[in-house]
Amino acid sequence: MSTSDLTATSNTISSGLVGHFTSISSKFYTHEQLAGKH
């Protein structure tokens, strides 16, 4: 495996984690916003 392959894999994993975390955060935030309206 070359360095560029390793970097590409690392970037893919990082993007996946960030996307997953952002999705969870937005769902949690939306839930909090809805809860706050009641």
**Whether the predicted pLDDT of 38 surpasses 70:** no
Which pLDDT value is given to residue 36? 82
| DSSP codes joined into one string, 1-38 | --HHHHHHHHHHHHHHHHHHHHHHHHHHHHHHHHHHH-
From CA 34, how far away is CA 16, in angstroms rounded?
27
| DSSP designation for 2 | -
pLDDT in tens, 2-37: 899 999 999 999 999 999 999 999 998 888 888 887
Range of the domain at 38: 1-38
Tell me the whole-structure pTM to 2 decimals. Answer: 0.52
Which pLDDT value is given to residue 34? 84
Number of domains in the chain: 1
